[in-house]
Amino acid sequence: MTSHVLITRDEPLATLTIDRPQARNALSIAAMDELRRAALELRHDERIRAVVVTGAGDKAFVAGADVAELAALAPEAARLFAQRGQHVFDLIAHLGKPVVAAVNGYALGGGCELALACTLRVAADTARFGQPEVNLGLLPGYGGTQRLARLVGRGRALELLLRGHAIDAQEAWRIGLVDRVVPAGELMPAARALAAELAAKPPLAVRAILEAVTRGLEMPLGEALAYEASLFGLAAATEDMREGTRAFLEKRPPVFQGR
């Protein structure tokens, strides 16, 4: 059976590669199901502390969904199709460990939405981003209308969503869609270096930060602050907190165990 999603482990890192280069790594239904299984596998692998997501080849990160599959959808099937995709991307957004998107080319439609679901985004200077669904008589269905607006603001998100045009990596960086832009030949080393830096941090504190920010953005400020305080209390009970504070006072590097 053809595999559309590859997992490469180099503990404590893992790399997820969407491997459909002949289709510009478009997210077919089969590829989305494999991505779901891969995300669940990595979520529960305590040896993996950070993940890099990229696309095979040098042309596309993910060029979108499979349009032939989209064209055949009836309304109720389309609703379920969107919900399944949202579920997969929610798994990535709530993986419990940092996920770095290494955007190596076109990140359009579902590809842009996949990048948005990641914790941080590093783009090659040749990358291009867009949500062109409006040109198909559709709207993004994998979370693009929501995550894009939260990341870059309402006005910039609406311009991208309503015009359906693509922007280059520098413009994506200018509006806050990506966090770093690097030369194409340096993309994977840069993404892996960032992931390795994050993987070296105490994993329980990292998970708490991810939860505080991701879930807190969905709450009123008062509730989000209370949630932050509860996570702060839980973090204070960990061995990693005691090691981190002790190492700081003893002026030595900490050794975190994830406990």
Which residues belong to the active site?
A: 113, 133
Please state the separation of Cα 8 from the chain's center in Å: 17
3-class SS letters over 68-121? HHHHCCCHHHHHHHHHHHHHHHHHHHCCCCCEEEEECCEEECHHHHHHHHCCEE
Backbone dihedral region of 60: left (phi > 0), alpha (psi from -120 to 50 degrees) or beta? beta
CA distance 63 to 21: 10
CA distance 81 to 142: 9
Quick one: tokens of 256?
């975190």
Q: Is the previous residue joined to 12 through a cis bond, with omega within 30 degrees of 0?
A: yes
- Provide Rg for the chain, Cα atoms: 19
